Amino acid sequence: MRVAIVGCGVIGGILARAIDEGRAGDVELVYLFDLDGEKARRLADSLKRRVRVAGSIDEIVRDEAVNLVVEAAAPSAVKEYGEKVLMAGKDLMVLSVGAFHDQELYDRIVEILRERDVHVYIPSGAISGLDAVKAAAMEELEVVELVTRKPPRAFKGNRYVESKGIDLDKVTRPTVLFEGSAREAAPLFPKGINVALSLSLAGIGADRTKVKVIADPTINRNVHEIHAKGSFGRLLCVTHNYPSPENPETSYLAALSAVRTLRNLTEKLRIGT
């Protein structure tokens, strides 16, 4: 399988190195692309095998040798390139899954998948438990809730939090910043919404999936809890995320999950739902 990576930041870098070192399955990395061309060039130069640096997304889309494009850039990249990639007959892996809170974009992508022999892969990212939620959603799933706790400093610069008049430097006990649906949370927490969207897509949708966001001064890592209840029983799944070695903003598990998703594609034995 020949792969192009779009976005050469934390996740793109970890994925490129995993492919380069043969840890991501039977996969060849053929292109890197980043709006910041210098970043793509530096990453390419750091790899053992030769990789082309694309000057534009069109260069990748035109190349018939590419089978899969991995988006590890930004929600705007999913919006700008997603349909183009799929219409060119290539599969797409999406890390910026928060882009799918735009229902029209999601519906257009699903329509393309219905009509063409192409696939979209969404790694579990920074949360665990999607396997069970997916299975449980095969029957009645009454409740799915995500409780996200982050240290108060993680919400610095968030306009919604500022508008509530909360002084993050003075938060001394766990404080609920938001409670509502995943769909409502998406525009308010653009940085942290990927996990809420993956959970929604795996389970009962963005309108029925509940989200609680807590600024918690007692922790120094991001913690995601999934609570679910249905005909399968009850689930509580807690993930304490360590930051990536390269960038504290990105949970390391998200990058590892992208590597594993890629490896799944060329493995004949698949474990987990």
CA-CA-CA-CA dihedral for 182, 185, 187, 189, to nearest 10: -120
Helices (H), 55-99: 57-62, 75-87
35 belongs to the binding site for ligand NAD (CB under 6 A) = yes
Which of 3, 4, 5, 6 binds ligand NAD (CB under 6 A)? It is: 6
Any contact of residue 72 with ligand NAD (CB under 6 A)? yes
Q: Is 79 in the site for ligand NAD (CB under 6 A)?
A: no
**Least separation in angstroms between CB 5 and ligand NAD:** 10
> Contact with ligand NAD (CB under 6 A): which of 76, 220, 266, 273?
76
Is the Cβ of residue 14 or residue 171 nearer to ligand NAD in the bound state?
14
Is 52 a binder of ligand NAD (CB under 6 A)?
A: no
- Does residue 27 bind ligand NAD (CB under 6 A)? no
Give whole-number Cα distances, 103 to 113, 181, 216, in Å. 15, 14, 31
Q: How far is the CB of 49 from ligand NAD (least distance, A)?
A: 21
Q: Which of 2, 23, 39, 41 binds ligand NAD (CB under 6 A)?
A: 39
User: Please, what is the Cα angle at 230 between 225 and 232, to 5 degrees?
Assistant: 100
Q: Which of 3, 4, 5, 9 forms a contact with ligand NAD (CB under 6 A)?
A: 9
C-alpha pair distances (Å), 190 with each of 94, 101, 103, 113: 16, 10, 15, 26
Helices and strands, counts by H and E, the chain: 10, 11
Contact 126, 238 (CB under 8 A): no
92 interacts with ligand NAD by CB under 6 A = no
Whole-number Cα distances in Å, 174 to 1, 159, 199, 216, 227: 46, 19, 23, 4, 19
Which residues are part of the catalytic machinery? 224
Residues that bind ligand NAD (CB under 6 A): 6-12, 33-36, 39, 72-74, 76-77, 80, 95-97, 125-126, 194-195, 198, 247, 250-251, 254
